[in-house]
Chain A
Amino acid sequence: MVGGLFIIITSQNYLKKVVGLAIFQTAVFVFFVSLAKVLDGTAPILTKMENAYSNPLPHVLILTAIVVGVATSALGLALVLQIYRNYETIEEKEIQSLELKSDKLNV
């Protein structure tokens, strides 16, 4: 989790930021799934034997969160692509210097 956050903050490349975000989110998903573990638990399937089973609710929640995460990454990547088409680079520093130049031209 911290690794993902570190990548988002430190990397200059927008693509890497999206990947860092995905890692960060996945770490939280794993945290949720680990909450569901019951000792000696099996998969939560209804059988005739009475077994201890893992809590299925966090799994379901995370299924939803994964979908949200996929949508976020997809939108992020689409934006990176558009940024590349408009600026021809996805490095934060280069874009900032480009913007500074265009601001000076306008003034």
Chain B
Amino acid sequence: MFNIFLDDAAALVVVLPLLISAIIAFMPSKIWPWIISLVTLVLHLVLSLHLLKEISISGLIIYEFGNWEPPWGISFKIDGVNIGLQLLFSIFVLVSTFYSRKIFLSEIDSRDSGKAYSLWLLAIGSLNGIILTNDIFNLFVFLEISALASISLIALGAGQNRKALLAAFNYLIIGAIGATFYVIGVGFAYAMTGTLNMNDLVIQLAQYSDGQLAIFAGMSFMLIGLMVKAAIFPVHIWLPPAYSYAPSAVSTLLAALATKTILYFFVRLLYEVFIIYPSYLSLFLDFVLYPLSLLAIFIGTLIAIYQDDIKKLLAFSSIAQIGYITLAFSLKDHSGITSGFIHIFNHALIKGGLFMAVGYFAILYKDRVTLNSLRGFGYKYPITSFALLICGLSLIGLPLTNGFISKLYLFQALYTNQMYFSIALVAVSSALAVAYFWKIVEQMWFSEIKFKSEKEDAYIYLPIWIITVSIIFFGIYSSPIIEFSNLSADYLISGYQN
């Protein structure tokens, strides 16, 4: 009986959250939608673990929908590149769903909790689809479902601050333009090759070995569309307001996973498909992605220093961190891709933990968390504050945290490519990260006001500490993350050398 489910595990990890989302949409109860979501995501984790087991045996799963063989049918592909991300995704959504209940209860109307969890699962299912899909048009559909679900979730923040509506609207407009650009690119690719399947696309593109203008135009449209969605530097403007005005639980999910999954697909497109035109690829990586990443790192960090609102500060630091990831991916070699994937994993954990802790402060303080409002919180809420401290140190990249591992591998990759200027810039911006994080620490522990410690909610600090402990754990015993990233890089780079 259970085997039937396991056979279709690849499809079920996406379909299950989508189905359950429809079921719980109109539940009036306050608690049942949360329980059902949790059970669904536990099943989701079981299915992901099963996929990991299968992959370790066979190395590649292609799931054909309706048994239509690719390139005709839509297929999901699971291999060494995305299995690590799938596992991280599965674990993180479970933890953040556990965390989300109390936050949702205090930030949105409790009668809406069925609808909120329905959108929550919709976003989870479609983001997971982005990880698994092997079809460029299918990606667009998942991209739009996840965008619409997250926009609605962001707009739920309007109960706290009406600016959430404006943030959601801007995200809608900019996101839709990005997605439409991507579709234009897909149109060009389809016109030239007659296929939408990624593996088949590589084969078909090979016949235009010298390259055609229409293909380059299509590729550029697709990449720009994805850059908008992944908030890579000059087209990131939708991200800071969207993250900072969304309900706290939603910012956690979006900051940790939404841009990461799209970045993953971006890299996959670059190194699996567009690799067939090395000159175009190196043009794009050297003259577009590389300078933009450096600008993102520097400007993102600088703006973060001048933010008063903590959630905005974290959002701008996200822009800088996305810059680190794209910088690593623009290096075109094994070490670069490995360090990029390592930072995807680590940054998802760090930013998730930070947003969780700040989200808890937001509901305790019952207003937007600014620097002043944090005064003395280190003594008032020691458990959560200490978790925030560890996540922040990891963001800066102190040894014994997983942020250090990211930085170490990034430096090594840059060093082997002899990019000394970038090394200097990354080092400077890490130092600047100390500046903005120190402002928070100063307010929390070193202000005059001293509070007696108050009781904290175990339902909330437990998931925060799960993330925090994993940050330290992967800082000391980092081989799982490094192995998964190595595996991803192996798969992608093997296409590069052929």
Give the B-binding residues of A (Cβ under 8 A). 5, 8, 14, 17-18, 21, 24-25, 28, 31-32, 35, 57-58, 61, 64-65, 68, 71-72, 75-76, 79-80, 82-83, 86-87, 95, 99
CB atoms of B165 and A82 under 8 A apart: yes
Identify A79's interface contact among B163, B165, B184, CB under 8 A: B165
B108 within 8 A of A: no
Interface residue ranges of B326-344 to A (CB < 8 Å)? none
Which residues in A have their C-beta under 8 angstroms from that of B169? 14, 76, 79-80, 83
CB atoms of A64 and B141 under 8 A apart: yes
Which residues in B have their C-beta under 8 angstroms from that of A79? 151, 155, 165, 168-169, 172
A-B contact pairs, 8 of them (CB 8 A): A5-B177, A21-B173, A61-B137, A64-B137, A72-B172, A75-B152, A83-B169, A87-B162
Q: A71-B144, A99-B163 are in contact. Are A32 and B152 (CB under 8 A)?
A: no
Q: How far apart sit A75 and B150, CA to CA, in the bound complex (Å)?
A: 11
CB atoms of B166 and A35 under 8 A apart: no
CB atoms of A95 and B177 under 8 A apart: no
With A24-B180, A61-B196 given, name 4 new contacts (CB 8 A): A68-B144, A72-B176, A76-B172, A87-B162
Q: How far apart sit A44 and B169, CA to CA, in the bound complex (Å)?
A: 40
B284 within 8 A of A: no
Which residues in B have their C-beta under 8 angstroms from that of A76? 169, 172-173, 176
Identify A86's interface contact among B151, B165, B180, B184, CB under 8 A: B165
CB atoms of B172 and A32 under 8 A apart: no
CB atoms of A21 and B148 under 8 A apart: no
Q: How far apart sit A24 and B179, CA to CA, in the bound complex (Å)?
A: 11
Interface residue ranges of B136-174 to A (CB < 8 Å)? 137, 140-141, 144, 148, 151-152, 155, 158, 162-163, 165-166, 168-169, 172-173
CB atoms of B151 and A75 under 8 A apart: yes
Q: How far apart sit A82 and B166, CA to CA, in the bound complex (Å)?
A: 10
Cβ distance B468 to chain A, nearest Cβ, rounded Å: 32
Cβ distance B228 to chain A, nearest Cβ, rounded Å: 13
Cβ distance B313 to chain A, nearest Cβ, rounded Å: 17
B467 within 8 A of A: no
Interface residue ranges of B173-187 to A (CB < 8 Å)? 173, 176-177, 180, 183-184, 187
Mostly, the B contact residues are helix
Identify B177's interface contact among A14, A18, A21, CB under 8 A: A21
Q: How far apart sit A82 and B141, CA to CA, in the bound complex (Å)?
A: 26
Cβ distance A31 to chain B, nearest Cβ, rounded Å: 6
CB atoms of A35 and B187 under 8 A apart: yes
Cβ distance B487 to chain A, nearest Cβ, rounded Å: 33
Which residues in A have their C-beta under 8 angstroms from that of B187? 28, 31-32, 35, 58
Identify A28's interface contact among B151, B158, B172, B180, CB under 8 A: B180
Which residues in B have their C-beta under 8 angstroms from that of A71? 144, 148
Which chain A residue has the least Cβ–Cβ distance from B184? A28
CB atoms of A75 and B172 under 8 A apart: yes
User: Which of B144, B168, B169, B177 has the most chain A CB atoms closer than 10 A to its own CB?
Assistant: B169
User: Which of A32, A57, A61, A95 has the most chain B CB atoms closer than 10 A to its own CB?
Assistant: A61
CB atoms of A24 and B177 under 8 A apart: yes
Q: How far apart sit A29 and B268, CA to CA, in the bound complex (Å)?
A: 26
Q: How far apart sit A24 and B183, CA to CA, in the bound complex (Å)?
A: 12
User: Which of A5, A14, A68, A95 has the most chain B CB atoms closer than 10 A to its own CB?
Assistant: A68
Identify A58's interface contact among B141, B184, B190, CB under 8 A: B190
CB atoms of A83 and B166 under 8 A apart: yes
Which residues in A have their C-beta under 8 angstroms from that of B151? 75, 79
Cβ distance A78 to chain B, nearest Cβ, rounded Å: 8
Which residues in B have their C-beta under 8 angstroms from that of A64? 137, 141
